[in-house]
Amino acid sequence: MNGYHLAVVGATGAVGTKMIEMLEEANFPIASVKFLASKRSAGKVLSFKNQSVMVEETTPDAFEGVHIALFSAGGSISKQFAKEAVKRGAVVIDNTSAFRMDPTVPLVVPEVNEAALANHQGIIANPNCSTIQMMVALEPIRKQYGLNRIIVSTYQAVSGAGVSALEEMKEQAKALLVGKTEVAANILPCGADEKHFPIAFNALPQIDLFAEGGYTFEEWKMVNETKKIMADDTIKVSATCVRIPVVSGHSESIYLEINEEQATVADIKALLVDAPGVVLEDEPAEQRYPTPLAAVGKKATFVGRIRQDIDVKNGFHMWVVSDNLLKGAAWNSVQIAESLHRLNLIQS
């Protein structure tokens, strides 16, 4: 064969746009691309490797002949079309939460659990953005010492909520900068919820809807997905997810407890310095640590500010940053496709 036929569903969205960019540099042969979106976006013209590609409406038949379909158009679109794509022979890599906790669906961060791809039944789920970067940073430590506990507080960027949320933040920021005291808010913290609050020059401790125990779905995603990806239900995980006025780049303040009393910060750094997908940026004396603005456009997960807890010997703190649209979404999805290709797991 001379390459795969690809489809990107949600091609005009914040993540879809980045998926196309990542596919342009993907490490597998591409015979053709098909860009799918809503009826409203059909007819728009996008570019792929300097060729014009017209956006088509997503329909079941659009997946005829497609080998790999990357979905990022919301959970309801995935629920509606992913199985249609599989029925027509495609492998679906789904960036929504629709199938993540389905026991028949592998939930994959290639640096962590690529082996889980072997058992796929057509759909592979891409984890939540906040979960992915935490897994990349923590897996080398878990493998060496075992992980007993994670407490994470996130500082999440607005691009994770889509293009319109970004536009709204910019309008709000402009208004506040010229001295307006009231600004309109129609999207964040969560388009599906009732009340909306400004994000510009603010921090919103709600991402997604509220669920059991006063935790949001975003927080539960971090808890449940961590246990599935690390294949260990005994790790204690709690999360507090917060949106802050950053364009792209999620940051996380992570506390972890390992099953080892003798490890030092130097040991942890030694594990991370050559870890796959990790860039260690941790030189306090030189003010070297990750920031979201510096991480934008990069595929790596940046780790810094590694410290031993002041009182708990097996406890460590760290600061983990990655581009939520890349490693948190588009790049991890394309990376899964690269793994499927390398492992010969795509029907063609």
Q: How large is the C-alpha radius of gyration of the chain?
A: 20
Active site residue 129: yes
- Does 29 interact with a second copy (rule: CB under 8 A)? no
> Which of 86, 151, 163, 345 is close enough to bind a second copy by CB under 8 A?
151
Footprint on residues 234-253 left by a second copy (CB under 8 A) = 236-238, 240, 242, 244-247, 251, 253
Identify whether 241 is a catalytic site residue: no
186 makes contact with a second copy (CB under 8 A): no
Which one of the listed residues 67, 129, 190, 241 is annotated catalytic?
129
| 284: contact with a second copy by CB under 8 A | yes
Count of residues engaged in binding a second copy, rule: CB under 8 A: 60
Check the annotation: does 13 bind a ligand. yes
* Euclidean distance between CA atoms 304 and 262, whole angstroms: 21
Distance CA 96, CA 226 (A): 16
CA distance 265 to 258: 12
Closest to 8 (Cα-Cα) out of 91, 53, 58, 69? 69
274 binds a second copy (CB under 8 A): no
At residue 295's C-alpha, the angle toward residues 293 and 297, to 5°, is 105
Tell me if 305 is assigned to a ligand binding site: no
Contact call for residue 204 and a second copy (CB under 8 A): yes
- Kindly report the number of other CB atoms within 10 A of residue 97's CB atom: 20
Exactly one of 13, 110, 140, 292 binds a second copy (CB under 8 A); that residue is 292
- Answer yes or no whether residue 287 interacts with a second copy by CB under 8 A: yes
Known binding residue 113? Answer is no
Pairing of strands 315-322, 250-258: antiparallel
**Which two tokens mark 171?**
């309008």
Q: Among residue numbers 111 through 150, which ones bind a second copy (CB under 8 A)?
A: 149
By CB under 8 A, name the binding residues for a second copy. Answer: 149, 151, 153, 155, 170, 173-174, 177, 189, 193-195, 197-198, 201-206, 210, 213-215, 223, 236-238, 240, 242, 244-247, 251, 253, 255, 265, 284-287, 289-294, 304-312, 315, 317, 319
Residues carrying an active site annotation:
129, 250
Can you say which residues are annotated as belonging to the binding site? 12-15, 40-41, 100, 156, 159-160, 243, 324
Can you say which residues are annotated as belonging to the binding site for phosphate? 100
